[in-house]
């Protein structure tokens, strides 16, 4: 009943792209290349942690790789790591995480997969939930699995070794994380597993375990971690230096523009499909300073936005970006709208709703609170500081007062790239009533 899957053998050029670009190491490389050339359909495994469903363009590096292979006809297998997610990947700092409920896992998995499918083909993707095999594990299975490895083997993992050396604690349960991940490979009969360089140990453990269990050991595909927009640390949500896959185009474009120049080539290499020949040109241009790096960065930003949206969106984002800093206008997708009822405010502060030349307005509202309520700033104190520092302007004029006249459509610029528009809720209500 299963028809032989259509698998295409990559051309040398494609092979080059798959095995060289955005790759740190393939173990063992020759075995992997042979497998690709064999015409056999490979099962490509990549796992994710459902406790953190937000995906950024660093994750996209791996997914892009999967997509390349998927286009050749190979089978992508995505694992929802609901059990490993509960343990938390041993990173030294991370304490045991609270157990996620089934609903949380489901919800997170759903949002995550939605993002995954922006890159890989949903039709050709198999999704498996870890608990579907670990739920039936009993103590004997756990012990049997643990017995496959020794403490010495575990200590090959660098962060364990470091902590052991410096006498910092290592929870026994932390050993379970790589073990479970390794067992996943057995369960799904993976031919290749993909992961970032921080996953190296876990990936290799999967390979070993498969062999012990009589399976053909998986190849391991290790990819670089993308550096975040700060240019120093790896991209991560908790460090707030990330570009989310679901960022709106303008936001995405702007974030790319904010990366340091030193990262331009790196981003082109890892996050775009710009051909190698052009990478070479870009590299030379940067070195010789023959082009304003900003121009290259704009190209980069276009490439990235187009990848997650389309060329038109990229173009639009670029125009928005230009307007933002040359003409100081706000690009629409960076504007937060704050809806206030003018009549309620008027009542609250005992001010009349005025009509000045057809513009409805209320005399005064307290700006710090509005900023907090609109979610632009975490506290009133913070908002006051911003005002004091001249970080807020209306139409290019710095707004130094904590009080402002409530006008429908009033647009504040907060800092460099945040915008707040005041919208008259009454008016909206009126018009929506009228239109019905």
Q: Which residues bind RNA (CB under 7 A)?
A: 166-169, 230-231, 250, 253-254, 257-261, 292-294, 297, 321, 324-325, 331, 348-349, 364-366, 368-369, 372, 378-382, 384-386, 389-391, 402-403, 415-417
Residue nearer to RNA on the CB measure, 220 or 365: 365
What is the dihedral sign for C-alpha 325, 326, 332, 336? positive
Instruction: Report the alpha-carbon distance of residue 377 to residue 387 in Å, rounded.
Output: 12
The minimum distance between CB 137 and RNA, in angstroms, equals: 24
Instruction: Report the alpha-carbon distance of residue 323 to residue 307 in Å, rounded.
Output: 22
Residue nearer to RNA on the CB measure, 216 or 416: 416
The minimum distance between CB 12 and RNA, in angstroms, equals: 36
Residue 213 in contact with residue 145, Cβ under 8 Å? no
Q: Give me 248's structure tokens.
A: 């709106």
Residue nearer to RNA on the CB measure, 5 or 415: 415
Residue nearer to RNA on the CB measure, 8 or 416: 416
Residue 76, classified by CB atoms within 10 Å of its CB into exposed (0-12), middle (13-18) or buried (19+), is buried
List for the chain the helix, strand, coil content (%; round to 5).
50, 15, 35
| CA 256 from centroid of its chain's CA atoms | 13
Spatial CB neighbours of 332, under 8 Å, sequence gap ≥ 6 = 250, 320
Instruction: Report the alpha-carbon distance of residue 384 to residue 380 in Å, rounded.
Output: 6
The minimum distance between CB 171 and RNA, in angstroms, equals: 10
Residue nearer to RNA on the CB measure, 60 or 392: 392
Instruction: Report the alpha-carbon distance of residue 383 to residue 63 in Å, rounded.
Output: 40
Residue nearer to RNA on the CB measure, 183 or 253: 253
Q: Give me 383's structure tokens.
A: 């908002």
The minimum distance between CB 166 and RNA, in angstroms, equals: 7
The minimum distance between CB 325 and RNA, in angstroms, equals: 4
The minimum distance between CB 226 and RNA, in angstroms, equals: 16
Instruction: Report the alpha-carbon distance of residue 428 to residue 432 in Å, rounded.
Output: 6
The minimum distance between CB 152 and RNA, in angstroms, equals: 17
The minimum distance between CB 258 and RNA, in angstroms, equals: 4
Residue nearer to RNA on the CB measure, 46 or 383: 383
Neighbours of 276 (CB within 10 A): 12
Q: Which of 65, 26, 44, 6 lies closest to 188 in space, CA to CA?
A: 44
The minimum distance between CB 208 and RNA, in angstroms, equals: 26
Phi, psi of 23 (to 5 degrees): -135, 140
Instruction: Report the alpha-carbon distance of residue 287 to residue 285 in Å, rounded.
Output: 5
Residue nearer to RNA on the CB measure, 48 or 267: 267
Residue nearer to RNA on the CB measure, 82 or 174: 174
Instruction: Report the alpha-carbon distance of residue 40 to residue 17 in Å, rounded.
Output: 20
- Site of tokens 């992961």: 195
The minimum distance between CB 408 and RNA, in angstroms, equals: 18
Residue 13, classified by CB atoms within 10 Å of its CB into exposed (0-12), middle (13-18) or buried (19+), is exposed
Residue nearer to RNA on the CB measure, 34 or 389: 389
> How many CA atoms, within 13 angstroms, populate the side-chain half-sphere of residue 85?
23
Q: Give me 349's structure tokens.
A: 């502060």
């Amino acid at each position: 009943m299963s028809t032989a899957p259509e698998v295409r053998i990559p051309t040398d050029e494609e092979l080059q792209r798959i095995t060289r670009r955005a790759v740190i190491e393939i173990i063992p490389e020759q075995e992997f290349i042979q497998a690709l050339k064999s015409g056999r359909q490979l099962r490509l495994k990549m796992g994710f942690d459902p406790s953190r469903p937000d995906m950024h363009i660093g994750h996209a590096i791996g997914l892009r790789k999967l997509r390349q292979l998927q286009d050749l006809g190979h089978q992508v297998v995505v694992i929802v790591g609901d059990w490993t997610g509960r343990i938390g990947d041993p990173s030294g700092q991370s304490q045991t995480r609270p157990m996620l409920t089934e609903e949380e896992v489901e919800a997170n998995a759903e949002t995550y997969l939605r993002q995954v499918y922006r890159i890989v083909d949903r039709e050709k993707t198999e999704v498996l939930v870890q608990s579907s095999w670990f739920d039936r594990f009993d103590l004997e299975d756990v012990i049997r699995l643990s017995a496959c490895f020794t403490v010495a083997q575990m200590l090959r993992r660098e962060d364990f070794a470091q902590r052991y050396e410096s006498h910092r604690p290592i929870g026994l349960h932390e050993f379970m994380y790589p073990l479970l991940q390794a067992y996943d490979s057995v369960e799904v009969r993976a031919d290749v597993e993909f992961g970032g360089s921080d996953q190296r140990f876990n990936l290799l453990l999967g390979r070993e375990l498969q062999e012990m269990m009589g399976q053909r050991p998986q190849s391991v595909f290790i990819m670089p971690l993308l550096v975040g927009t700060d240019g120093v640390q790896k991209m991560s949500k908790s460090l707030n230096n990330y570009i989310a896959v679901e960022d709106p185009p303008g936001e995405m474009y702007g974030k790319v523009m904010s990366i340091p120049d030193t990262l331009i080539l790196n981003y082109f290499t890892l996050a775009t499909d710009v051909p190698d020949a052009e990478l070479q040109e870009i590299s030379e241009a940067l070195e010789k300073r023959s082009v304003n790096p900003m121009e290259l960065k704009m190209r980069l930003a276009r490439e990235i936005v187009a990848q997650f949206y389309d060329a038109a969106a990229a173009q639009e984002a670029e125009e928005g970006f230009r307007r933002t800093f040359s003409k100081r206008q706000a690009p629409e997708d960076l504007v937060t709208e704050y809806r206030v009822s003018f009549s309620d405010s008027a009542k609250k502060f005992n001010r009349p709703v005025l009509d000045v030349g057809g513009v409805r307005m209320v005399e005064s509202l307290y700006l710090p609170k509005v900023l907090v309520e609109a979610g632009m700033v975490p506290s009133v104190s913070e908002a006051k500081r911003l005002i004091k520092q001249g970080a807020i302007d209306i139409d290019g004029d710095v707004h130094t007062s904590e009080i402002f006249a409530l006008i429908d459509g009033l647009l504040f610029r907060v800092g460099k790239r945040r915008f707040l528009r005041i919208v008259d809720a009454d008016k909206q209500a009126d018009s929506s009533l009228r239109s019905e």
